[in-house]
Amino acid sequence: MFTSVILAAGMGTRMKSDMPKVVHKVCGKELVKWVIDASREAGADEVVAVIGHKADMVKPVIGENAKIAIQAEQLGTGHAVMQAAEYIKKAKGSVVVLNGDTPLIKAETIKKAIDYHVSNGNSATVITAEFEDATGYGRIVRGEDGSVLRIVEQKDASDEEKKIKEINSGMYVFNGADLAEALDKLTPNNAQGEYYLTDTLEILRGAGKKIGGYTIEDNDEIRGINNRIQLSEAETIMQRRINEKHMENGVTIINPSSVFIGSDVEIGRDTIIASNVTLAGNTKIGSGCSVEMGCRIVDSVIEDNVTVLNSVILESSIGEGTNVGPFAYVRPGCKVGRHVKVGDFVEIKNAVIDDGTKISHLTYLGDSDIGKNVNFGCGTVTCNYDGKDKFRSVIGDNVFVGCNTNLVSPVNVGEGAYIAAGSTITDDIPDKNLAIARARQVNKDDWKGNKYAK
């Protein structure tokens, strides 16, 4: 049990964005949300996000996932933590301070830092790293016994201190009561005139408390994001982590660097993901599926043994054993049954399609309820929109729709009906009827008009 305080009030000027930095996304999840989730996964029973810059855009992202403390003016990291004082005072166990722009921090690392902090009997523990180029970071000044004496900021550092390679990640574990006490004594006593959180360490040390440093193993975890280049680097690292997690769980990913899988996506075992695939949002893919080249699947459920090739599927569900594509566009609101074929150049929207139905090629079905084992000939179109309103059509089981049929909605096609090719259907068709709705053919045997014929 611990309390996590996430600093996320900063401007993020270098993002050159109209949005606050911490709502930019890595693998489909906002930066601050990654840090909240890592805190929860590590066992935090209270998470507080300190927000300020464009707080109204950050609040909806945080929602019910964390408490919010507002820092109206950004007067430094110490000042930011002060805004969470109410939660720090009632914290059970340790208080962990994290940064909202550091999404790669792992739950496991937070846990290890807390264990280190507790087992060493520290009052405060700084999470540190060794950097070849430490420019811009606070440097860790250690005493002979290895304890942390203080942290000196780049701007306040002497030439000797600037050579120190051990840096402050900006993440810490504190004893809650000690932190609360030190914050009360904090002053903006430095070159920047800011309240430095790092100064609390000196206050605690002055009071005879023990300060430690926990050196992280993987420097990637403390990468802060300040610009779009760093955002893309974090995306690459996170993407690799996500892909590797799926591969460890039994998913084959043929060319991982071209596959983008959102943080919440689930994939069953023995599913194969080919190149240039994006799986995003709240998507769930079953086992034994083949997601072939060039697919984009968002907020959809794909059952087992489905094959999808070069297609887009949005907010829909696809039943077991169904084939989609190549070049199909499944728009929101579709519920496709089992062993269905949604073939090439087929677009479906807000349509329920029951088991065994074949929509093989060049067809548009919108706002429709389609029964079982229906066969659509090439080029069927539901005319579902009259320029003002949308209408629904219903097609019964075992219907055969001839090629190049227009179904002018709303229209009901009875079970087992047969529609002749080239028909424009405007009236309901009773069960098992043949419907022919096209002009009769006329042949003229003495016609001389063919300029092409030799």
Q: Is 39 in the site for ligand UD1 (CB under 6 A)?
A: no
Q: Is 42 in the site for ligand UD1 (CB under 6 A)?
A: no
What minimum distance in Å lies between the beta carbon of 137 and ligand UD1? Answer: 4
Q: Please choose, out of 67-75, 114-122, 329-337, 385-393, the segment that lies near ligand UD1 by the rule CB under 6 A.
A: 67-75
What minimum distance in Å lies between the beta carbon of 88 and ligand UD1? Answer: 15
Helices and strands in the chain, H and E counts: 9, 39
Question: Residue 12 in contact with residue 105, Cβ under 8 Å?
Answer: no
| b/e sequence 417-430, b meaning 16+ C-beta within 10 Å | bbbbebbebeeebe
Q: Is 99 in the site for ligand UD1 (CB under 6 A)?
A: yes
Q: Is 357 in the site for ligand UD1 (CB under 6 A)?
A: no
How many CB atoms sit inside 10 A of residue 249's CB?
12
Q: Rank residues 8 and 62 by Cβ distance to ligand UD1 and give the closer one.
A: 8
Q: What is the CA radius of gyration of the chain?
A: 31
Residue number, nearest CB to ligand UD1: 138
240: CB partners within 8 A, 6+ apart: 256
Q: Is 34 in the site for ligand UD1 (CB under 6 A)?
A: no
87: CB partners within 8 A, 6+ apart: 3, 5, 46, 48, 67, 69
Pick from 3, 4, 39, 77 the residue near ligand UD1 by CB under 6 A.
77
Q: Is 279 in the site for ligand UD1 (CB under 6 A)?
A: no
What's the token pair of residue 321?
């054993």
Strand partners, 383: 408
Pick from 3, 94, 122, 198 the residue near ligand UD1 by CB under 6 A.
198
Instruction: Based on the residue annotation, tell me whether 361 is a catalytic residue of this protein.
Output: yes
Residues 142-171, one symbol each (x = binds ligand UD1 by CB under 6 A, - = not), give ---------x-x-------------xxxx-
Q: Is 9 in the site for ligand UD1 (CB under 6 A)?
A: yes
Sign of torsion, CA 202 206 207 211? Answer: positive
Please calculate the CA angle 149-152-156 and round it to the nearest 5 degrees.
Answer: 145
* Pairwise CA distance, residues 454 & 451, whole Å: 8
What minimum distance in Å lies between the beta carbon of 224 and ligand UD1? Answer: 5
* Pairwise CA distance, residues 93 & 295, whole Å: 47
Q: Please choose, out of 74-82, 280-288, 299-307, 440-448, the segment that lies near ligand UD1 by the rule CB under 6 A.
A: 74-82
Which of the residues 214 through 243 are near ligand UD1 (CB under 6 A)? 224
Element (H, E) at 31: helix 31-42
Residues 307-346, one symbol each (x = binds ligand UD1 by CB under 6 A, - = not), give ----------------------------------------
Question: Residue 138 in contact with residue 69, Cβ under 8 Å?
Answer: no
- Burial of residue 188 (CB within 10 Å: 0-12, 13-18, 19+) is middle
Q: Is 137 in the site for ligand UD1 (CB under 6 A)?
A: yes
Pick from 24, 33, 79, 223 the residue near ligand UD1 by CB under 6 A.
79
What's the token pair of residue 246?
């799926």
Question: Residue 219 in contact with residue 104, Cβ under 8 Å?
Answer: no
What minimum distance in Å lies between the beta carbon of 126 and ligand UD1? Answer: 9
Pick from 80, 179, 352, 399 the residue near ligand UD1 by CB under 6 A.
80
Using CB under 6 A as the binding criterion, the count of chain residues that bind ligand UD1 stands at 27
What minimum distance in Å lies between the beta carbon of 50 and ligand UD1? Answer: 5
Residues that bind ligand UD1 (CB under 6 A): 7-10, 50, 71, 74-77, 79-80, 99-101, 137-138, 151, 153, 167-170, 196-198, 224
Give catalytic residues, as residue numbers.
Answer: 361
